[in-house]
Amino acid sequence: MLDGCDYSIVKYRERSPFVVNDVFIDAAWYRAATDLNAIAERIGTRASFSSSELDEFAAAFDERHRDPGSEGYFDYDIVSGTRILAPTPAGIAATISGIIPSARARRMWQSYLAEGGEMRAVWTLSPRHPAFEPDRYWRGPVWVHLNWLVGLGLETVGLDEEAAKLRRETLEMVSNAGFFEHYSPVDGSGSGAPRFSWTAALSLDIARVWAGGRKG
């Protein structure tokens, strides 16, 4: 599709049936922008983004991605002009942005855990959803890099105990099963490719955070 549009995003958006504002990508952009500003302040140079620009983005993020009914955050389908209310943890991971208030993030996390029941966190599609498959990539399995991101997000909004619990359970799962690509949310067994490097790397980082004496 992009090739047919000569790689023009404007033309692509006019023709494609799939144009989405991704809640996590938008959250990651905001986090990156504020981090760049913090670096600029530290080294004594001009900030990359003004306060008004960041405030405008945060307001647009909330308006576009937050569902008032559930108070959750979701992807937004630009073509249909509606939120994609799929029960995934993308909105939880978006807490890395720092935009989502702590009290709302806590309710989101509690609702997420209740939705999963006895499932291990972080499942990638609700076990109540008809498309849930515990061993099929993003239709259920637990991924360590997503757990790493969610732990960072929970810590960002001040949910330190929740982040610590998630990190502890993640390391226990990896310790029991090994460094797999992903894991079953049902019993924590490994699936996908074995000896997976990013699982090993992020497990080491999670352990480093623990060893460093931080609450997480």
Tokens of 135: 């061993």
Say how far apart CA 133 and CA 151 lie, in whole Å. Answer: 24
How far is the CA of 137 from the CAs of 3, 12, 42, 118, 174, in angstroms? 28, 28, 41, 19, 17
The answer to whether residue 121 sits within a structural domain is yes
The answer to whether residue 8 sits within a structural domain is no
pLDDT digits (tens, 9 = 90+) for 5-22: 788 888 887 888 888 999
Q: Is the pLDDT of residue 93 over 80?
A: yes
Containing domain of residue 123, as a range?
Answer: 14-211
Q: Is the pLDDT of residue 213 over 70?
A: no
pLDDT digits (tens, 9 = 90+) for 41-87: 999 999 999 999 999 999 999 999 999 998 899 999 999 999 999 99
pLDDT digits (tens, 9 = 90+) for 112-153: 999 999 999 999 999 999 999 998 989 999 999 999 999 999
Cα three-residue angle 150-151-156, rounded to 5 degrees: 95
- Measuring CA to CA, which residue among 123, 71, 128, 77 is closest to residue 95? 71
Q: How many domains does the chain have?
A: 1
Strand partners, 4: none
Say how far apart CA 190 and CA 181 lie, in whole Å. Answer: 7
pLDDT digits (tens, 9 = 90+) for 149-158: 999 999 999 9
The answer to whether residue 7 sits within a structural domain is no
The answer to whether residue 3 sits within a structural domain is no
The answer to whether residue 80 sits within a structural domain is yes
Q: Band of the pLDDT at 211, cuts 50, 70, 90?
A: low
pLDDT digits (tens, 9 = 90+) for 176-189: 999 999 999 999 99
pLDDT at position 24: 97
The answer to whether residue 25 sits within a structural domain is yes
Tokens of 21: 């504002």
Q: Is the pLDDT of residue 216 over 60?
A: no
Q: Is the pLDDT of residue 208 over 70?
A: yes
Question: What mean pLDDT is predicted for residues 190-212?
Answer: 89
The answer to whether residue 9 sits within a structural domain is no
Looking at residue 30, which CATH number applies to its domain? 1.50.10.10
The answer to whether residue 33 sits within a structural domain is yes
